């Protein structure tokens, strides 16, 4: 556990209303190491934002296990959870209205969360953080005077205000152009390298996901696959000369769960032209082979039933 920042084991989240129950996470297993820069991808409703909210202390899990920085999020009291959110995690939202207060300057926005921490030179620290994101020259500007990309960079400074160990970013490049998105990701990479900050990004941005150490795909509330940097790129991860968006830098793995189930990518299943949900499994030379059921086999089964 010393090297692990996030440990989710058979994690379940159920949302209940008066009439229905929604199973957002269905036994998610995921481990994130300290100092890792990784992304979580998945379709809308897959459970990725639900997972991020629970890790951020914004929502409570329903079942399973969830540890962050050695803290059991199932057993934290409300007071301990508040302290956890102040000291352990920083959050960057896609919607800047959730990150920033429009009537405050950039400097005042960054200073605001520091009032909930022990006394210190808040102004000096806030200017340092704005300088870190390249915006110290805009410290006296208000929200309406900043571009969308500049607002997002202020939001990152705010998330770092209380020196968190873990930075969570929910679609941080979703509302900015490609150039600004690349700049924001380069900033995350620098924070990861220079501060050793663990960073988890939820994103639909395929280009962004190619520039991180690991990509976890969540489907139907479970981990379905992972893409991991090839060894030569992992050893040179912070090299800015690598054409991350053009080169194939990651190997993809399907995740086998504890019950022996795996989620096969749709593009591979489509090659089988399946007409029903049955396949044949065979082994050959240490490999598992998946085959579609032949049509005559299906017809024969019907005959035998008759």
pLDDT reading at 227 higher than 70: yes
The whole-angstrom separation of Cα 270 and Cα 126 is 52
Helix (H, G, I), strand (E, B) or coil at 173: coil
Same domain? 175 vs 250: yes
Same domain? 195 vs 254: yes
Same domain? 194 vs 275: no
The whole-angstrom separation of Cα 299 and Cα 37 is 51
In a domain, 181, yes or no: yes
- Here the CATH number for the domain that contains residue 31 is 3.40.50.300
pLDDT higher at 168 or 296: 168
Same domain? 246 vs 298: no
Please report, rounded to a whole number, the percentage of residues in the chain having pLDDT higher than 90: 30
What is the structure's pLDDT at 304?
47
pLDDT digits (tens, 9 = 90+) for 145-197: 988 888 989 999 999 988 899 999 998 887 778 888 888 888 898 899 888 99
pLDDT reading at 113 higher than 90: no
Q: What number is the average pLDDT over the span 20-25?
A: 85
Same domain? 228 vs 283: no
Give the chain's domain count.
Answer: 2
pLDDT higher at 94 or 67: 67
Same domain? 171 vs 251: yes
The whole-angstrom separation of Cα 15 and Cα 33 is 28
In a domain, 149, yes or no: no
Mean pLDDT, the chain, rounded, equals 83
Same domain? 233 vs 301: no
pLDDT reading at 204 higher than 70: yes
- Whole-model pTM? 0.82
In a domain, 152, yes or no: no
Containing domain of residue 186, as a range? 4-88+164-263
Name the nearest CA neighbour of 202 among 59, 91, 84.
Answer: 91
What is the structure's pLDDT at 275?
76
Q: What number is the average pLDDT over the span 88-93?
A: 90
Q: What number is the average pLDDT over the span 106-135?
A: 84
Most trustworthy range by pLDDT among 23-37, 93-107, 210-224, 274-288: 23-37
Q: Counting Cβ atoms within 10 Å, is residue 80 exposed (0-12), middle (13-18) or buried (19+)?
A: middle
Each as own residue / partner, the long-range contacts of residues 190-194 (CB below 8 Å, 24 or more positions apart, any chain) are 191/132, 191/160, 191/167, 192/35, 192/37, 193/238
Same domain? 201 vs 250: yes
Helix (H, G, I), strand (E, B) or coil at 200: strand
pLDDT reading at 131 higher than 90: yes
Whether residue 5 contacts residue 73, with contact meaning beta carbons closer than 8 Å, is answered with: no
Which of 10-24, 108-122, 125-139, 289-303 comes out lowest in average pLDDT? 289-303
């Amino acid at each position: 556990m010393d090297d692990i920042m996030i440990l989710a084991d058979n994690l379940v989240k159920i949302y209940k209303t008066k009439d229905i129950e929604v199973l957002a996470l269905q036994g998610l297993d995921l481990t994130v190491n300290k100092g890792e820069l990784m992304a979580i991808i998945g379709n809308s409703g897959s459970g990725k934002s639900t997972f991020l909210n629970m890790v951020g202390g914004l929502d409570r899990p329903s079942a399973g296990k969830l540890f962050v920085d050695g803290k059991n999020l199932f057993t934290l009291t409300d007071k301990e959870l508040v302290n956890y959110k102040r000291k352990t995690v920083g959050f960057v939202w896609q919607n800047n209205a959730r990150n920033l207060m429009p009537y405050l300057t950039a400097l005042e926005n960054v200073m605001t969360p520091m009032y909930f921490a022990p006394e210190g030179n808040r102004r000096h620290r806030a200017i340092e953080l704005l300088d870190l994101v390249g915006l110290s020259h805009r410290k006296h500007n208000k929200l309406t005077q900043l571009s969308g990309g500049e607002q997002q960079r202020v939001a990152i400074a705010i998330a770092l205000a209380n020196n968190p160990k873990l930075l969570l970013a929910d679609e941080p490049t979703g509302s900015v152009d490609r150039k600004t998105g690349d700049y924001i990701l380069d900033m995350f990479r620098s924070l990861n390298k220079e501060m050793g900050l663990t960073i988890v990004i939820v994103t639909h941005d395929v280009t962004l996901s190619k520039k991180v150490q690991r990509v976890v795909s969540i489907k139907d509330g479970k981990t379905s696959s992972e893409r991991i940097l090839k060894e030569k790129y992992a050893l040179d991860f912070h090299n800015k000369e690598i054409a991350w968006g053009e080169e194939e830098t990651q190997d993809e793995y399907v995740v086998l769960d504890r019950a022996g189930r795996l989620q096969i990518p749709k593009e591979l299943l489509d090659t089988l032209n399946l007409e029903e949900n049955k396949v044949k499994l065979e082994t050959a030379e240490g490999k598992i082979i998946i085959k579609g059921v032949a049509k005559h086999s299906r017809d024969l089964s019907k005959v035998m039933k008759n």
